[in-house]
Amino acid sequence: GAVVSQHPSWVICKSGTSVKIECRSLDFQATTMFWYRQFPKQSLMLMATSNEGSKATYEQGVEKDKFLINHASLTLSTLTVTSAHPEDSSFYICSARVKGQGGGEQYFGPGTRLTVT
């Protein structure tokens, strides 16, 4: 149980275009989902916390107008990278916390590798 999927698994896009990444909890409901970014040989950095039915909470230094997050249902959150630039190329990973389950355990999606040319 507790499977999280992401789509697409990898994407190449041109500079200036927008890319949408989906994160789905397949067999559980997730009131809270998290979006991380990981650059090569660096740790995962939390970008934002996505709560179903409300606005996302962004970490310091993350532009909310550039990284649009929508958490429309208990099983789906989307991250849209708007006007992508080469420096946005990274590994984007989402995670979800099971509804009603406390503590720090989160289930991670397989990640989306974004390359902006």
* Contacts with other proteins, residue ranges (CB under 8 A): 32, 34, 41-46, 49, 91, 93, 95, 97, 102-106, 108-111, 113
User: Residue 59 CA to chain centroid, in angstroms?
Assistant: 13
Is the Cβ–Cβ distance between 6 and 21 less than 8 Å? yes
Query: Shortest gap between Cβ of 3 and other proteins (angstroms)?
Result: 11
86 three-state secondary structure: helix
User: 19 vs 111, which CB is nearer to other proteins?
Assistant: 111
Query: Shortest gap between Cβ of 113 and other proteins (angstroms)?
Result: 7
Is the Cβ–Cβ distance between 73 and 50 less than 8 Å? no
User: 83 vs 115, which CB is nearer to other proteins?
Assistant: 115
Query: Shortest gap between Cβ of 63 and other proteins (angstroms)?
Result: 19
Query: What contacts 36, CB < 8 A, 6 or more positions away?
Result: 44, 45, 46, 47, 92, 93, 94, 95
Query: Shortest gap between Cβ of 73 and other proteins (angstroms)?
Result: 19
Strand pairing report for 57-58 and 45-51? antiparallel
